Structure 1
Amino acid sequence: MPYIKITQDMFNNIEYDRAVIGQSEKLTGKMANASECTPTVLIVADKGDLNAAAYHLARSLQYPFAPEVIVTVLVAESTRPALLERLQALLKPIPADVSQHAERNKILALIAKHNWETISIPELGANSPVIVCDVTHEHLGNGYNGVVTLHTFRTIQESISLCVKESIKPVNASIWSSNHASAYEIGLKIPCINIFIDCYQVSLEPLKTTNATTGTGTCALVEQNYHYETLKLQNGAKNVVFPIGTAIAN
């Protein structure tokens, strides 16, 4: 077996989710207004894929006003230290126009005043991404202002409660878990329309096309190694996506 040297550059350029590649405009395009962002909650359960979760979170933090952005993170207590360790190594400076964003800076001043715990890179100064811990968005002003909130949970029910408690209701949920049934339980009980299990920002076009053709409002299909389904529930329809390898492994 040939010897392959693993380098830091390989980790910095891992393509965790090929379905996201080619959508860089969501990250690097014109800065969207805070009210125009499509909010996502990132949920990292016990034994979830920490490398992938940290990778996607770091990319989102670098462009906090991209059209699709992570606004809240929920992480299992047992997983939090390892996730944050990986995240710190991946954080990069935010763009200059974001560091000068008036509403964001107002929120940062509020955080400093209350001495709330934050996760950032002090060496980057004003250009550092910022996560504030154990504080909900309602304490940070009206709507989303470029600062991500993080909460720690111990049980599935607590993760659901924390998500419901947040004042910004996410449209998307990206759930990373070693237990597929638990991911479904969380996804179907939180106020999100689109549930991505062990993946992030995968195109929903296959579901849109199929639902438009059938007109039934429910469907299930497999395309490009992803399972897609639309479910009709009492509180409305939900779209669920996951790589088929995830289902086989669980």
Structure 2
Amino acid sequence: MCEIKQNFVTHDLVHNLRCQKRGPRIRHEMRKIRSWPGARFMCVCRNGDLNTAAYCLAELMQEPFQPFPMATVAVHHSIRDEFIERVRSRFRQLKPHVANHPNYARAVEELKHGLRPVNYIVGNKEDAPACASPILVMDITHLFFPSGPSGCTTLHVFNTMRNVSEIFTSETPKFDAVYYFDESIAGVYILAKLIQCVQFYVNCMDACLLEIMPYYMDHTPMVIYKRGYHYETLELGSQWKIIVFPYSTSILRQCCCPTGQCRCYATHSACCEEHLHTH
């Protein structure tokens, strides 16, 4: 009788595939934290892609205590209500390590029973119960909450780039990057000159900075086109900036490294090249 080889593809392997091993368990820190590791700032303009911006914001709000949280978003006054509704429709229930985090529980208590009434948005009941929903807080800064990440994202409205810069500087987190959504890229150069921040991503998020980083480190003006992105480093407002925007249709493609942890430059390799060739 013939023996069945170990690598033989059976009917069940194709139509009833089951995992025999449990995935690794990730241990989450469930203690109060005071630092904002690499906080992000989002600016959504009147002519920006609201669907893309809302998707990005809602996704990042699912993990507010991981590195590089989305702390604050500034929205043009003319699209405020529409944008809020698009974000809210994308809210889903937070995982237990977020909903039970002491910082989140403290923020919820402050919003519900604090001395000062505050407007805030949670998800629809069908998508996320109020006790385990992402929270978008209106028209206040993070100074409202005790020190450290609250688990909430603050939302402000603006009319001009000057307003955006004032929102940026009035918030407590030190922002490492700005996500800027607009059909025109002209406004990002105005904003970059007004605020102290190095990384600006226009209509994209955390693209790999491998090729442009040496020029930024050497303070050399440069423009590079690579992997569907325009990379630029230049001096604005007495500070060197990196501005990135896509020139292809892949508006959401990110660097393959974990968000904010790109090590391509340090390892002298382009982490995304192999990934792009396999798709």
TM, length-normalised to structure 2: 0.71
Structure 1 residue 187: deviation in Å? 2.7
Structure-2 change in CA distance of 1:188 and 1:245 (3 Å): farther
Deviations 1:23-71 (A, max 9, x none): xxxxxx7657552521110100111110100000010011112222210
TM, length-normalised to structure 1: 0.79
Structure 1 residue 241: deviation in Å? 0.5
Q: Which has the higher helix share?
A: 1
Secondary structure of the structure 1 residue equivalent to 2:201 = strand
Aligned positions of 1:1-250 closer than 5 A? 31=28, 35=35, 37-112=37-112, 113=114, 114-121=116-123, 123=125, 124-209=129-214, 211=216, 215-244=218-247
Structure-2 change in CA distance of 1:216 and 1:194 (3 Å): closer
Letter in 1 for 2:241: K
The gaps in structure 2 that reach 5 residues or longer are 1-25, 250-279
CA contact (8 A) 2:178 2:200 kept: yes
Structure-2 change in CA distance of 1:183 and 1:200 (3 Å): same
CA contact (8 A) 2:219 2:240 kept: no
The gaps in structure 1 that reach 5 residues or longer are 1-28
Structure 1: distance between partners of 2:181 and 2:97: 31
Give the % identical residues: 27
CA contact (8 A) 2:77 2:157 kept: yes
Deviations 1:205-250 (A, max 9, x none): 22225556xx44443211011011122345422111011259xxxx
CA contact (8 A) 2:36 2:173 kept: no
Q: How many residues align?
A: 216
Structure 1 residue 186: deviation in Å? 1.4
CA RMSD in angstroms comes to: 2.1
Structure 1 residue 162: deviation in Å? 1.3
Deviations 1:80-133 (A, max 9, x none): 111112112111111101111112211221122222100112621221001111
